[in-house]
Amino acid sequence: MELKIEKVVAGGLGLARTEGGVVLVRGALPGETVLAEVRAGKGVNQGVTREVLTPSPDRVDAPDLPTTDLAHASYAAQLRYKREFVQEAMSRIAKLSAEQVAAVAETVPSPREWNYRNTAQYLVTPDGLAYRERRSNSATAAQTDPLVMESVASVVRLLDVSKLEGVQEISLRASRLTGEVVATLIAPGEPKSYLKAADELMDCGVVGVSLAAPAARRFSAGVQLVAGESEILEGYGEVQVSVSASSFAQINPEAAGLAYIHAARLAGQGPMAVDLYGGSGAIGRHLAPNFGRVVVLDTDFDALARGRHDIREAGTRNMTFRDGDAAQLYHSSLQAGVIVVDPPRIGLSEMARDALHDSAALKVVYVSCDPATWARDVGDLVKRGWTLGEVTPHDFYPQTSHVEVVSVLTRAELPEKLEPSEMESGYGER
């Protein structure tokens, strides 16, 4: 079908309109006329570009990889599109004013357009490492990946997969700070069964190998050390944090560091701040120099343990790590004037939004990896009386359609049901 592309929408898809309705086309850019293979989808039809009849001036040559969905656009165009994704969500989902939508800042670019990823996970096949195709069980050979750091690419080039007998998948994480790489094997059995695989990986430059049992949710069945180191140090902005191949940490440390510094600037200063969904405290540690006390809340035991270890090593004395979620904000010892939230892609639950609104906070700094759920949450808080201030997209994932948002919400007064006694003392503790 010949289609005229109006714009690019979330997911990196070109939007076209036909008599039969909207078609979302992979691999197309605004202003282009393309020949696309189209199939019926849920709600809208889906298409894949087979030929570009009228190319956009923003089109560039791109690698054909399942890990990229915007690499066919120039980087300047990618940054524009990502700002537009945030604006679209603000308008369509949050129902914010045209003035607020227009005030969104330009997207902060990643310091690197390529070779920025410190993490990659591959299927182990008889023919070598492979990517799992999007929305499919099929695999594509991972010969080269221009997104990953060179230290990860080096391991992939040198690795002899015949020595990974029994391994289903492998996760690699490198450090931009140190150049080291650690690996986690995803496979059944005991660590001693994978000593040969560990030797092969360490011969390829890996400094540590762990084992995770296969599970529906990645690494949820626990991780055991096979050989070497389980963690390495990575730099994020102004701090160094411990990361492993199985832990959650942003995959573009240089870009994430810029966002964390930005979030700390928006947070300002004061007697106390809470870092909600704080993990091992990468954002919280950026808050610590400007607050009397910082409390990091998360439900990930391993992340909290790494955070406690890291602040001991750094000599930071005004931070506390707690096992807890948004429900803990009702506790009198957590009545902070500033709360920073960096939730998972699903955003804030209704309970979490209630807890934020009923807390003692006059400022919420919201860091998000999904403009749609961020817009839903921000729209709800604005309806409750909060004012949305600065909104800035950050690009952690060049060549893809993913975009992060750093924003701030404020209010002039606390909800009536919060008693003044709950704000006693500099740290808000009774």
- For residues 388 and 378, is the Cβ–Cβ distance under 8 A? yes
Q: How far is Cα of residue 140 from the mean position of the Cα atoms in its chain?
A: 24
Alpha-carbon span 254 to 258, nearest angstrom? 7
Catalytic residue among 90, 287, 369, 408: 369
- For residues 233 and 99, is the Cβ–Cβ distance under 8 A? no
* 315 φ/ψ angles, rounded to the nearest 5 degrees: 75, 20
Q: Where are the beta strands (DSSP E) in 126-168?
A: 128-132, 139-141
Q: How far is CA 286 from CA 103, 150, 211, 262, in A?
A: 26, 28, 32, 9
Alpha-carbon span 430 to 425, nearest angstrom? 7
Using alpha carbons only, give the angle 234, 240, 242 rounded to the nearest 5 degrees. Answer: 60
Alpha-carbon span 114 to 75, nearest angstrom? 10
Of 193, 112, 208, give the one whose Cα is nearest residue 155. 208
Of 161, 224, 138, give the one whose Cα is nearest residue 189. 224
Alpha-carbon span 160 to 170, nearest angstrom? 13
Of 324, 352, 336, 249, give the one whose Cα is nearest residue 287. 336
- DSSP letters, 24-68, are EEET--TT-EEEEEEE--SSSEEEEEEEEEE--TTB------TT-
- DSSP letters, 213-241, are ---SSTTTT-EEEEEE-S-EEEEETTEEE
* Surface-to-core class of residue 33, CB atoms within 10 Å of its CB (0-12 exposed, 13-18 middle, 19+ buried): middle
Print burial letters for 260-299: b (CB count within 10 Å at least 16), e (below 16): bbbbbebbeebebbbbbbbbbbbbbbbbbeebebbbbbbe
In the residue annotation, 369 being an active-site residue is answered as yes
* 43 φ/ψ angles, rounded to the nearest 5 degrees: 85, -50
Beta-strand relationship, 139-141 and 128-132: antiparallel
Active site residues: 369
